């Protein structure tokens, strides 16, 4: 909108400015549509998504109509005063952004995304307490620039993890989970291959397993089973990765059931999530047949 306002002041590149403005509107439209769909699903507590969407559309239409009437009243007052027009634009834009900020802060999502999961997991590992949805949503950062302690990629193709059958055997060794995991220490990146049978709880376990490597690199308090693995993390050589992954699988066998029980106890929904999961799936010998482990 600001570009459209400024476009007449630069007639030599008017077309380019307006084109960039329309491109920005398209990007915002896609992002806004995706966000609105997620919020509509969140608000449809009785599986009444169509009803919630219809009421949301009705309210937006009413607000747009009220805005049109106000703008018709204000237009004669600001016409011919460029500085006054820009002042009104910046004022109402600031109010609009602030209102959106307050609205998002008021939301309490009971499903876990990566940032909420990391906050809850850190609190559980360091203090033995479970953050409820309200507390975790208040702590979740809204702005870009929030970098997790480890880069987590779920649902990657199998060839990113292994290059030989022997590597696959080492990854599969010692567990029956419907996912395979690898940690690249140089890039601080955890990549997870998922089985076709991996359900929401199995994906949640894989995400927690990946985030454990970030917790192992930090100096905070950890349960004894995890604290004992810190020497392996700080040893450095990549050859220790296979041992570390096998050991963390054993820790997860004890940790995950308690963590999952705690999540349900404080009101988190574990039958679905907002974790970013790619569509790649792979099958390997010995993969668990259960959908949720």
Does residue 288 register a pLDDT over 80? no
d(CA 289, CA 195): 9
- Segment 3-37, tens digit of pLDDT: 998 898 899 999 999 999 999 999 999 998 888 88
What pLDDT score was predicted for residue 42? 85
70 phi and psi angles, rounded to 5 deg: -65, -40
Tell me the mean pLDDT in the region 269-281.
91
Q: Which residues of 180-217 are buried (b: 16+ CB within 10 A; e: fewer)?
A: bbbbbeeeebbbbbbbebbebbbbbbbbbbbbbbbbbe
Does residue 103 register a pLDDT over 80? yes
Tell me if the pTM is above 0.95: no
Q: Tell me the sheet residues that pair with 193.
A: 180
Percent of the chain with pLDDT over 90: 47
Cβ neighbors of 127 (< 8 A, separation 6 or more) are 221
The DSSP code sequence of 210-270 is HHHHHHHHS-S---HHHHTTHHHHHH--TTHHHHHHHHHHHHHHHHHHHHHHHHHHHT---
- Segment 129-145, tens digit of pLDDT: 999 999 999 998 887 65
What pLDDT score was predicted for residue 178? 92
- Residue 198 pLDDT class (50, 70, 90 cuts): very high
What pLDDT score was predicted for residue 225? 82
200: tokens are: 């929401």
């Amino acid at each position: 909108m600001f570009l459209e306002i400024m476009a007449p002041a630069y007639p030599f590149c008017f077309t380019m400015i307006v084109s960039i403005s329309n491109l920005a509107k398209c990007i915002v439209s896609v992002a806004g549509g995706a966000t609105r769909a997620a919020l509509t699903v969140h608000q449809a507590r009785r599986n009444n998504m169509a009803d919630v969407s219809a009421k949301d559309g009705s309210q937006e239409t009413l607000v747009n109509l009220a805005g049109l009437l106000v703008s018709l009243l204000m237009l004669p007052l600001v016409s011919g005063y460029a500085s006054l027009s820009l002042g009104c634009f910046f004022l109402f834009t600031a109010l609009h952004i602030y209102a959106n900020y307050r609205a998002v802060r008021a939301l309490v999502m009971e499903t876990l995304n990566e940032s909420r999961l990391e906050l809850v997991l850190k609190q559980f590992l360091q203090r033995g307490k479970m953050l409820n949805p309200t507390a975790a949503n208040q702590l979740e950062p809204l702005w870009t620039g929030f970098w997790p302690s480890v880069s987590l990629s779920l649902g990657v193709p199998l060839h990113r993890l292994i290059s030989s059958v022997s590597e696959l055997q080492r990854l599969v060794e010692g567990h029956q989970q419907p996912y395979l995991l690898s940690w690249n220490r140089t890039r601080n990146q955890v990549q997870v291959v998922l089985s076709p049978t991996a359900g929401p709880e199995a994906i949640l376990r894989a995400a927690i397993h990946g985030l454990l490597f970030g917790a192992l690199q930090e100096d905070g308090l950890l349960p004894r089973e995890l604290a004992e693995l810190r020497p392996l993390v700080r040893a450095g050589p990549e050859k220790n990765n296979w041992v570390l992954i096998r050991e963390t699988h054993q820790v997860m066998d004890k940790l995950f059931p308690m963590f999952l029980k705690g999540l349900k106890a404080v009101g988190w929904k574990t039958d679905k999530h907002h974790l970013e999961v790619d569509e790649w799936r792979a099958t390997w010998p010995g993969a668990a047949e259960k959908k949720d482990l």
